Amino acid sequence: LCGFWNIIHHPSSIIIIMSLMHCRHGLSRQLIEQGYKSHRHSGRLVQGSSHSCEWNSSSRRWYTPMTEDEQEKEKARVLHLSPEAKEQELRQLNREISRLEMLRGINTGELYTWSGRYKALMRDYGVPLFVYYWVTWTSMGVLTYLAIDVGGLDALQMISNVDNYTGWSLATKVDPQLGKIGLALVMNEMLEPVRLPFVVATLKPVMETIDPPKY
C-alpha cells in the first residue's frame, strides 16, 4: 500500500507505467518523453534493444551513455594514443569524475554525512576498505584484550555482576581465559562509534599514500 501511495503521488512514475502498458498500442511519444524527462540528465536514447518499448513500428530505443558503434570508435581512438597521451587523458578523466562525484554528493547531501562518505569509500575502494576496516577491528580487539590482561581486570567478577543483575550463573560455567576474550570482544564492539569514523576519515589519506591517484 505504501508503494502504491508513493506511485500515485509521483506523476512521472504513473506516466512511465502507462508507457510500458500502452506503448505497443500507439501511446503518443510526447506523453512518454514527459515521464522520462525528469529522469534523464545525461546520456542518450539509442536504437537496438529487443526488450525496449516501441516508439513506432520501425524503431526500438533504450537509455545508454554510449552506443556500441561509439564504443568501438573510442576503443580504436584510444588504441592509437601514445602512452603519454593516454596518461594525460586518464588524469583529465579522473579529475572530471572526481568533480562529478563531488557535485552529486552535494546534490544528494551525502557529501556531508558519515553514511554518505562511507558509501563513497565503498564505491571508490571496495576491497581495500574491507581489509582496512578488519585490520583496524582486529588491532583494536587485540589492544583491548591486552589492556584487560595487563591491567588485571577481572572478567569473571564482571560476569558475576551480570549474573547478580540477571539471575544467571554464567560465572561458574566460563573459563577465566575465555572470559577475558569474551569481555574483550564485547568492549571492542562498544568501540564501533569510534572505529567507523576513524576508518572513514583515514582510509583515503592512507590509500593515497600507498597508491597515489593519477590526477
Q: Cα–Cα distance between 73 and 80 in angstroms, integer?
A: 11
The pLDDT tens digits along the chain (215 residues) read 444 444 444 444 444 444 444 444 443 444 334 444 444 444 444 444 434 444 444 555 567 888 889 999 999 999 999 999 999 999 999 899 989 999 999 999 988 888 888 888 888 888 999 999 999 999 999 999 998 888 878 777 888 887 788 878 777 777 878 888 888 998 999 999 999 889 988 998 998 888 887 76
Per-residue burial over 32-69, b = 16 or more CB atoms within 10 Å of its CB, e = otherwise: beebeeeeeeeeeebeeeeebbebeeeeebeeeeeeee
Q: What is the pLDDT of residue 189?
A: 93
Contact 125, 208 (CB under 8 A): no
pTM above 0.85, yes or no: no
For residues 18 and 31, what is the distance between their CA atoms, to the nearest angstrom? 9
For residue 61, give the nearest of 75, 79, 76, 49 by alpha carbon. Answer: 49
